[in-house]
Structure 1
Amino acid sequence: MAGREDGARRTEGESTAETTADRSWAWGLLDHLRPTGRDVRRVAAWLADTLGATVSLQDETGALLAGTRIAMDEDLFTDLVTGRIASASWEGEERCLRLVRVERPRPAAACVLAVSRPTPLDRRASEILVHTAQVVEVLLRADETTTTGDRLRRAASDLRLAILQLLMVEDTVSARRVAAGLWPGLLDTDTACVYVLECEAGQRDRLVEECLHLTAEQALVVRCPAVDEHVIVVAPGEDEGRTLTSLAGRHPRTFIGGSSRQSLAQTAGAYGQAVSALAVAHFRPDKAAVYAERTHPERLMDPAALREWTARALRPLDTLAHHTRAELLATTRLGLEFTAVSAAKVLGVSRNTVRARMERVEALLRTDFSDLTVRAVTHLALNHQVGLDGAAGSGTGEQAPRARLADLMAGPAVQTWAHELLARLDADSRDLRRTLRTWIAAGGNSERTAQILGMHPQTVREHVRSAEPVLERQLLSAGTDLYEVVLAHLAVGDLRPPVLDPAKPDHPDAPVHG
């Protein structure tokens, strides 16, 4: 049995109690290694309380990382940081100082953990300080690893967004080049489906990680820059789409809308389809919807005439450099489909840039996008131009018949479609058709429509909202649905057709004389 230094014999009970008291600090220190307690500032506070001292942790520049700043000799501090010495002690009349070097992950330099108190550190206090320095070193390494991991995840997220933005402006070559370096084979496809998933904003990071895991990173998963609750996924394969759709059923308040299969160059259009489908998903029991392949007016028009009209309508843009023209067309297409603010966030540019590009297109086409009929007709031309594979603007030759918008709308298939669509509104006694027609002519402005019809603006909005389920199209949000309804009104003659660039006598919609 061990004896005391004074020669008195220590009983087993006394030894156990004394050892427990000496080691109780270890349990407190270990608590700081738990996942919920890993914070060097809390460790410094614990050490100060345990030793009855002032504690500081400073980096190589002298910046305070934790605790309370302690004055110390600069040369001594430098020797510790550079590794010339591992620890140092200093005793004065009013305070005793102990300094310990704490390693950090390279390339960062070491830190200095300092303890200052009126009395010197005894064996127990010195042991606590040494072990605390080891815990601080572990926490600093863990923080650095976590920071590096977070930095890599942010970089990967930024790259995925950059790829999406390139696809949105039809730059598929650059998008594939960026993707190939990190995700080989990701865009080795000509077509893909776009999905938009919606969840609570606070759950989006979790949803992104789950999408990445379920698709084995074989789909482009992006945090939507325009809507905090949305995740955008460009899925080349069919399996990824089915897997993603299952997420809506497994998680509460999670919805998904998907596009039809589109070429990569039509990613912007597919995104619009997915957003439209997402709105429908909110009313589905399974919280999932795919864009309905309903009959679109452009599919009912004479293909040759539509091609020729599109080429002539967009001909003023042919004088631009190819990349400038593509940028303006892609931006305008998104700007017509969504708000300028949303389009700007999706493209990664300012809203002023979006407006400036659209104003340039307006100037070149000599038209006014504040007119809903102009927006609808321009939207028709831009969307059809995407499918021309670069032939838009080349025309169909001098011998091709001169196509006019009125000719496109006069076809029997278009006429039947338009009359059947708008006839759905006739059953409502509130004359929704008149309200909707006037609202479109007023540029979608409820106040102006109310003045014309002599009703309250809220009544106008209620009429337009009531027309949405009848027509099965969203009207209060600009986009494909609204523009199709505008084209239907143009086809039946309820609205005057817009005249694009009337100053050009050869323009497809210029008046014919003689």
Structure 2
Amino acid sequence: MAGRGDGIRGTREAAGDTPGWARELLEHLRPAGRDARRVVDWLAGTVRAEVALQDAAGILLAGTRLRLEESLVADLGSGRIASAAWEGEGRHQRLVRIGHPSGTCVLAVSRGTPFDRHTADVVTHTAQVIELLLAAHETTEAGRLLRRARADLRLAILQLLMVEDTVAARRVAAGLWPGLLDADTACVYVVESAPERRERLVTECLDSTRDEALVVRCPAMDGHVIVVSPRESTASELRSLVGRHPDTFLGGSVWQSLARTATAYGQAVSALAVARFRADKTAVYAERTRPERLMDPAVLRGWTGRVLRPLDSLPHHTRAELLATTRLGLEFTAVNTAKILGVSRNTVRARMERVETMLGVDFGDITARAVVHLALHTQISLLDGQPEPGRDAPSPGLTGLLSGPAVGAWAGELLGRLDNDTRDLRRTLRTWIHAGGNAERAAQSLGVHPQTVREHVRSAEPVLERQLLATGTDLYEVVLAHLAVGDLEPPVLAAE
């Protein structure tokens, strides 16, 4: 057994035993220690030398930069030779070619004393270990990049569905998930967990749905996983998954056409808020009486066509893009809408400002947002096969739509729930809506503290069974109720 004069840390080994250096080297192949840089550092300390690992282009990957004979490095890189030795200027060098799937590396070891058999063995075996580690790393990296590419494709498909481009979404999905979007309708589910557990949740959702559903990491909410599925069995599979994990919740939409994926997503998010308070941690969006369902369908469609007519002059793709962005922008913040669509928030704002200008409205006015929201969601129904209104379709205007007895009865019952509260929640809510949802401005009008306004609005939420502080469908329904009973003035629209 070689002693310390060999340049190797010496330990006594019985005949036939594995040398201590070999056991140390093998430890670097364990899952917790697979790092080529650590192996290079270990080699430098073991043979008391300077060590460099560089690629074919001469880029240092690990260790210390060394002056090497360029012709030897070139021969090693080209595969002409597998190893080389060089001596000069008081230094002794060993160079070993390391091949791996994407190219060639050179392991260079330089020391002041000559290499004996033992040090040469250490260098040779270390080169083999580094070769294994580089190959394993590239395999792992290739797998990671493939998983990332598949995840990016799934997100791209979702974003296409969100802007109603179902043709392009099906085309993208057909390559990797044939038949996934062949159905005309689907449900959208949102599964929620702690952000740090989302990667595991994504894996389990993929395993549960077996590539028969679109599973996407929500780009807006770190703890959310979005699942779009045309199969009825997906609901039970996801319920089972949620039941196995604490602090995991599931919200689902009703069945919608693929063109209404954005609407279904909003329903799933709304259901998720309910699921957090249920014992089984799941909820499906409950279809309640919507004000638009109490209006004459033909008249409503005629009014919608008239309100959105200024956008008809746009190319089809541009019009669809603006409508889809605005529909999401009225449901969520500009930041979250941008993340969902994969664009910048400035792009979202620019598109919505363009719609504002063309429709002649101000989205800073909540009543205007509510009315345009009504028109956009009625327009979606035209994509579901309902006839498009003709140019001569009746259009009595917003006031006419909201003056029907059914709408009036619905609005009176909804807002009447607030009348029993001695704090006059109805007055506070009306003032807060008129102030654009700004608690400070509402407080000035009422002569109270802004916190009082916020508390009153929060108190109205369980009574009305609607979320008010979070912009979206719930708030807009309450605004339409105020318009129907005459508590708020209707907004002015260019086409009205």
TM-score range, shorter chain: over 0.9
CA shift in 2, pair 1:117/1:436, >3 Å: same
For 1:42 and 1:111, locate their aligned partners in 2 and report how far apart those are by CA, in whole Å.
16
Amino acid across the alignment from 1:57: L
RMSD, aligned α-carbons: 1.8
1:293-343: CA deviation from partner (whole Å, max 9, x where unpaired): 111111111111111111111111111111111111111101111111111
Asked if 1:495 corresponds to 2:488, the answer is yes
Aligned residue number for residue 479 of structure 1: 472
1:354-393: CA deviation from partner (whole Å, max 9, x where unpaired): 1111111111111111111110010000001011128899
SS at match of 1:289: strand
Contact residue 421 and residue 488 of structure 1 kept, 8 A: yes
Deviation of the 1:17 alpha carbon: 2.3
Amino acid across the alignment from 2:283: A
Asked if 1:173 corresponds to 2:167, the answer is yes
Aligned residue number for residue 120 of structure 1: 114
| Equivalent residues in 2 for 1:384-463, closer than 5 Å | 384-389=378-383, 395-398=389-392, 400-463=393-456
1:159-218: CA deviation from partner (whole Å, max 9, x where unpaired): 111111110010101100110111001001111111111122222111111111110011
Aligned residue number for residue 81 of structure 1: 77
2:41 alignment partner, one of 40, 45, 59: 45
Amino acid across the alignment from 2:49: A
Deviation of the 1:394 alpha carbon: 5.6
Contact residue 169 and residue 326 of structure 1 kept, 8 A: yes
Aligned residue number for residue 17 of structure 1: 14
2:208 alignment partner, one of 207, 214, 231: 214
Size of the aligned set, in residue pairs, is 487
TM-score by length of 2: 0.95
Greater shift, 437-446 or 226-235, is seen at 226-235
1:101-140: CA deviation from partner (whole Å, max 9, x where unpaired): 11111xx321111111121122111111111111100110
SS at match of 2:422: coil
Contact residue 300 and residue 401 of structure 2 kept, 8 A: yes
SS at match of 1:17: coil
Structure 2: runs of 5 or more not aligned: 2-10
SS at match of 1:98: strand
Aligned residue number for residue 512 of structure 1: none
For 1:391 and 1:103, locate their aligned partners in 2 and report how far apart those are by CA, in whole Å.
61
Aligned residue number for residue 504 of structure 1: none
Amino acid across the alignment from 2:94: R
Contact residue 56 and residue 68 of structure 1 kept, 8 A: yes
Aligned residue number for residue 262 of structure 1: 256
Amino acid across the alignment from 2:308: L
Aligned residue number for residue 460 of structure 2: 467
Aligned residue number for residue 204 of structure 1: 198
For 2:62 and 2:312, locate their aligned partners in 1 and report how far apart those are by CA, in whole Å.
63
Aligned residue number for residue 359 of structure 1: 353
For 1:424 and 1:453, locate their aligned partners in 2 and report how far apart those are by CA, in whole Å.
21
Amino acid across the alignment from 2:67: A
Amino acid across the alignment from 1:17: A
| Equivalent residues in 2 for 1:214-253, closer than 5 Å | 214-253=208-247
Deviation of the 1:403 alpha carbon: 2.3
Q: Which 4+ runs in 1 deviate beyond 3 A?
A: 390-395
Aligned residue number for residue 287 of structure 2: 293
Contact residue 312 and residue 393 of structure 1 kept, 8 A: no
| Equivalent residues in 2 for 1:138-177, closer than 5 Å | 138-177=132-171
For 2:395 and 2:35, locate their aligned partners in 1 and report how far apart those are by CA, in whole Å.
74
For 1:393 and 1:341, locate their aligned partners in 2 and report how far apart those are by CA, in whole Å.
35
SS at match of 2:14: helix
Contact residue 312 and residue 395 of structure 1 kept, 8 A: no
Aligned residue number for residue 10 of structure 1: none
For 1:163 and 1:51, locate their aligned partners in 2 and report how far apart those are by CA, in whole Å.
55
For 2:165 and 2:387, locate their aligned partners in 1 and report how far apart those are by CA, in whole Å.
19
TM-score by length of 1: 0.92
For 1:464 and 1:471, locate their aligned partners in 2 and report how far apart those are by CA, in whole Å.
10
Greater shift, 170-179 or 63-72, is seen at 63-72
1:38-60: CA deviation from partner (whole Å, max 9, x where unpaired): 00011111111211111111101
For 1:248 and 1:418, locate their aligned partners in 2 and report how far apart those are by CA, in whole Å.
37
Deviation of the 1:401 alpha carbon: 2.9
1:446-505: CA deviation from partner (whole Å, max 9, x where unpaired): 00000000111111111111111111111111100100010111111111111211xxxx
Aligned residue number for residue 7 of structure 2: none
1:44-92: CA deviation from partner (whole Å, max 9, x where unpaired): 1111121111111110111111111121111111111111111111223
Deviation of the 1:245 alpha carbon: 2.2
Aligned residue number for residue 9 of structure 1: none
For 2:298 and 2:325, locate their aligned partners in 1 and report how far apart those are by CA, in whole Å.
26
CA shift in 2, pair 1:29/1:340, >3 Å: same
Greater shift, 217-226 or 239-248, is seen at 239-248
Contact residue 226 and residue 342 of structure 1 kept, 8 A: yes
Contact residue 382 and residue 388 of structure 2 kept, 8 A: no
Contact residue 385 and residue 392 of structure 1 kept, 8 A: no
Deviation of the 1:402 alpha carbon: 3.1
CA shift in 2, pair 1:119/1:438, >3 Å: same
% of aligned pairs identical? 68
Amino acid across the alignment from 2:50: T
For 1:99 and 1:115, locate their aligned partners in 2 and report how far apart those are by CA, in whole Å.
6
